[in-house]
Structure 1
Amino acid sequence: MHLKIFMWSYIVTAISLVVAFFYGGWQALILCVILGILEVSLSFDNAVINATVLERMSDFWQKIFLTIGIVIAVFGMRLLLPLVIVWAAAGLPPVEAFRLAMNPPADGAAYFPDGSPSYETLLTDAHPIIAAFGGMFLLMLFLNWLFEEKEHTWLSFLEKPLAKAGKLDSMAILVAAVILVLAAEFLAEEPEVVLLSGLLGLIVYLAVNGLGKLFENPETVGAHQDADAPQDTTAVADPSAGQTEQAKASRNSTLVRATGKAGFFLFLYLEVLDASFSFDGVIGAFAITSDPIIIALGLGLIGAMFVRSLTVFLVRKGTLAEYVYLEHGAHWAIGALAVILMVSIGFHVSEFITGLLGVFFIGAAFLTSVRRNKRLAAEGHAEDAKLHV
């Protein structure tokens, strides 16, 4: 299964490295490898969240996400989106922005000899706009999850009381709006620009997420409601197999795959989510290289392909059902990333910190899930022993 799922990622990686070598020699090849690793390390939580959405989509829309979606991810999010941001923030046409990107100052300076800013400088100057939009989108995703009732809780001392507080209507919007106002007031040099960008991020989240729910079939909604009901999780599979097959079957049986308009809006939701996650990767890539071709090859083709393959792997293996706290860790990682993006409006935050926080939350959630499975397996053996006495 591993080879089948990751085969195209390996093929695309090999082709990308060959193209990078012929484009810029060994230096370009090494930069591509570094950027690919950067993207995967920053986006593991993205893969987990993608998996929670992808398993709700029909096979058709899953294939669309893995084919057309990868084209959008590579050329749209990693190549065209930065050009559009430079165009919107600096008033430069995308063609002119691309020319600047392909012809940086010879000495790597932030400005040309005539005093005009480089492409990297223009994109960096637009960071508050990017951070406000992406931060609000991710923050809404995190808060909506945080304020809802859950079958399982990981950080129970926080998740249980916050789930109760979530019974207040629009709690997530209220908290997100307060954070946006505070960030614009105390961190932004241009508060009105940050407010507008953050508001757009909030609107896009509400629109895409709301439309997806609007076009869900009644059966789908009922299935999700059933999924929220308490499940019997005391029975587990053979601990030597290391899998909770009953949990997987229960999760799969309560999911009715979204088709038609519901599938389309889930696809849009995933693409906007991918864009929000890609912002920090694109900005961080400029600390390594300002060449948009190498960035597209490393972040886009190599990184994005592996993130999508990892998403499919999580869905096919039923990993989210087997390790029940993994989804929790991913959401906490998203919350941390959202806060970092908002803070970065006024202060520089190293991408190294962002990546480490994501790895920390995912790793801690995984280890906690493993301990839970071992505990349930031991309790199951104890119950079997009592029955045979």
Structure 2
Amino acid sequence: MSSLLRYGRYVRFPLICCAFGLAAVFASHGGLSPAGLQATWITLVLLALEISLSFDNAVVNARVLEQLTPGQQRFFLSWGLVIPVFGVRFLGPLLLVSLAGGIGLGEALDAALHHPEHYHELLELAEPRILAFGGMFLLMVFLRYFLDEAKTLHWVGVLEQRLSRAGRVPSLEVALALLILMVVAWALPATLRSDVLFAGLIGLVLQILSTSLADYFGGEEAAVGRLAAQSGFASLVYLELLDASFSLDGTIGAFAITTDLGLILTGLGLGALFIRSLTVMLSREKALDHLIYLEHGAHYAIGALGLLMLTGVVIGRWGWHVPEWLSGLIGVVLLLLALGDSLRHQRRQA
């Protein structure tokens, strides 16, 4: 009972916000009318979509968040929520829609607010670039974690030991990521090839840049911790960059569920609040020190999501789409398997 109370305090605030948010949607869309019930249900679906797609993000961010002070953690939980909800999930696609559609930012904003169907069409036009950017960033996160010769803790020993030994080859993760990007671009029409290559390279360069900066300070996690000790803004930028790559696929999928921008921001925003609370819980309770394979499962889920996003770039030319439920399901299954093995390891140690 005491454990439930201890862990429950982390989700108390998100639950209250969800209750108020769903009540506001219910009341503003007609209450018990069919429109009100449908809007409330759609918001719940979007909330579940965000949580399932971003759960592995919470595990990875928790390891970085352990380096921060409680005050900086609260800053990440509160003000850090503004950027993923309004920046990544609203302004980010807006900017990409503007660039891909060859229209002004004001016109894209007008379409988002007053012509959601047209905005959805523009978003679909920008989708290959968005997926290429996010897919390459996440793929680099996955490759960098496993292609590490200093890594000694292995979950899937046969595979991870080989990957760790392969990490002795300098910049192998960059070469593999570029090879995959070239294969994806080769499968696309010539008119789209250069845009996808450019977007993918931006994702790759941003990951290399953050890694190089971390190495300069003596290790990624230690670097983030020392920077955050001077300014919470430094850690916020690092964490939000990873969050951006996770959320891009979910944002596109949300418009496939509904074109109501208010419902999208409400559902995804409430889901992001849950994920942030979970991140803080994992960090403060030092859960990753006991659940030793959970971080492995999260990175496998990251790699799967990155590959699915790049696959979506290729199959999108035929009008196909990787369903968001598949991405979420793969991530949840991998994390549950890692959690189960971590608990079994704990029992063996005991």
RMSD over aligned CA atoms reads: 2.3
Contact 1:130 1:279 in 2 (8 A): yes
DSSP-derived class of the 1:16 partner:
helix
Q: How does 1:23-102 map to 2 (within 5 A)?
A: 23-24=28-29, 25-102=36-113
Which residue does the alignment assign to 1:282?
251
Q: How does 1:336-347 map to 2 (within 5 A)?
A: 336-347=304-315
Structure 2: tracts of 5 or more residues without a match: 1-5, 30-35, 316-320
Which residue does the alignment assign to 1:192?
194
- The CA deviation at 1:54 is 1.1
CA 1:265–1:212 in structure 2 vs 1: closer, same or farther (change >3 Å)? farther
Contact 2:72 2:232 in 1 (8 A): yes
Q: Distance in 2 between matches of 1:29 and 1:127?
A: 27
Q: How does 1:356-367 map to 2 (within 5 A)?
A: 356-367=329-340
Q: Deviations over 1:222-268 (max 9, x none)?
A: xxxxxxxxxxxxxxxxxxxxxxxxxxxxxxxxx97653468644321
TM-score (norm 1): 0.80
- The CA deviation at 1:313 is 1.2
Alignment partner of 1:209 out of 208, 211, 215: 211
Contact 1:146 1:162 in 2 (8 A): yes
- The CA deviation at 1:76 is 0.8
Contact 2:53 2:250 in 1 (8 A): yes
Q: How does 1:298-337 map to 2 (within 5 A)?
A: 298-300=267-269, 302-337=270-305
- The CA deviation at 1:31 is 1.1
Q: Distance in 1 between matches of 2:222 and 2:242?
A: 22
Q: Which amino acid aligns with 1:88?
A: L
Alignment coverage as a number of residue pairs: 332
Which residue does the alignment assign to 1:12?
17
Q: Deviations over 1:158-211 (max 9, x none)?
A: 110111110111111111111111111114551111110011111111223332
- The CA deviation at 1:62 is 2.1
Q: Which moved more, 1:311-320 or 1:135-144?
A: 311-320
2:236 is the alignment partner of 1:267: yes
TM-score (norm 2): 0.88
Q: Distance in 2 between matches of 1:262 and 1:213?
A: 19
Q: Deviations over 1:127-183 (max 9, x none)?
A: 110011001110111100010132310011111011111011111111111111111
Which residue does the alignment assign to 1:153?
154
Contact 2:225 2:235 in 1 (8 A): no
CA 1:217–1:332 in structure 2 vs 1: closer, same or farther (change >3 Å)? closer
CA 1:198–1:217 in structure 2 vs 1: closer, same or farther (change >3 Å)? closer
Q: Which amino acid aligns with 1:214?
A: Y
CA 1:134–1:262 in structure 2 vs 1: closer, same or farther (change >3 Å)? farther
Q: Distance in 2 between matches of 1:65 and 1:208?
A: 19
2:202 is the alignment partner of 1:170: no
Q: Distance in 1 between matches of 2:306 and 2:81?
A: 24
Report the structure number with the largest CA radius of gyration: 1
Q: Deviations over 1:260-284 (max 9, x none)?
A: 4686443212101111000111111
Which residue does the alignment assign to 1:120?
120
Q: Which amino acid aligns with 1:290?
A: T
Q: Distance in 1 between matches of 2:51 and 2:221?
A: 35
Q: Distance in 2 between matches of 1:212 and 1:188?
A: 37
Which residue does the alignment assign to 1:3?
8
